[in-house]
Amino acid sequence: MFILTSELFPAAPKRPLEGKVAVITGSGREAGLGVAIAKRLAEEGASIVISDLGQSQDEATPDRMIGSTSEMQEIADSIRALGVEVSTCPCDVRDKGQVEALAQHAVDTHGSLDIWVNNAGIGYIMKPMEEISEEDWRAVIDVNLSGAFFGVQAAAQAMKAQGSGGRIINIASQAAKSGFPFAQAYCSSKHGLVGLARSAAIELGSHAITVNNVCPNHVTTGLGAWQNEYFAEKLGKTLEQYKKDMADRIPLGRPGLASDTANAVAFLCSDQAQYITAESMNVSGGEEPH
């Protein structure tokens, strides 16, 4: 009798993040950084929670700049094709209670919370210094910095309760390291993420929870395309000249891709990065040297 053995037909290799559950805020817009990150982590085997506003909440969150409920669902459906569990959960990261509910959704729906990516952000309120209103300032800080802080809090609470460690990653920016014109609130919010990661990493290290930032340079997502047009106009350049000048100042000769940021996040979620915390990793093709 010929007996089939596991040595002849070994089980398919386990994907590195199989069994992990990842929440990605601001991941409900096609061609956005959040979607690229969600798909990359799904390729590694993680179950995914897609989260975005779902619908406009106020003037600071117009429909054209946020992920709708239907778009979130379409993204979730496309990621399921990678063979992982996916759910959606609307969340306004400015609301601490909604962020806590998002973390609980991951635990209740998928059984744990192992990876939290603070990706939600406002990068479309940019004006000359004198034109920035109090409302403009607060809108950017509330989403980009306070929203990330609430995310770190909620994720840490869930991860500590599980007792198995975890990974918290903030999508910062080159603007976390350098200043840019017309982006006072944005740069301030992203600089703040450096301090947040450094401080949180110290407190959470004993629980095997790492906290890091990923700092991409310009990425031409839907938002990035708007930024190209905005800065070209403000600097008195054609769009083509602005894009050429941007590429020329980057040692690797091109702006970032969404996949570049997603790959960095996947690395920080991997076992290879288990001893890396409190870092703000540049993903800028050499444009940002510190």
Q: Quick count: other Cβ atoms within 10 Å of Cβ 267?
A: 15
> Is 107 exposed, middle or buried, given 0-12, 13-18 or 19+ CB atoms closer than 10 A?
middle
Residue positions counted in the chain: 290
Alpha-carbon distance of 70 to 196, in angstroms, equals 33
Alpha-carbon distance of 30 to 222, in angstroms, equals 8
Q: Quick count: other Cβ atoms within 10 Å of Cβ 109?
A: 15
Alpha-carbon distance of 12 to 17, in angstroms, equals 14
Q: Give the 3-state secondary structure of residue 235.
A: coil
Q: Is 124 an annotated catalytic residue?
A: no
β-sheet bridge partners, residue 212: 169
N-to-C CA span, the chain: 66
The two structure tokens encoding residue 8 = 């002849």
Q: Three-state SS across 143-184? A: HHHHHHHHHHHHHHHHHHHHCCCEEEEEECCHHHCCCCCCCH
Q: Where are the alpha helices (DSSP H) in the chain?
A: 33-43, 69-80, 96-110, 134-141, 147-162, 184-204, 222-234, 239-248, 258-269
Q: Which residue has the tokens 């975005």?
A: 52
Q: Give me the catalytic one of 186, 230, 242, 275.
A: 186
Catalytic residues: 186
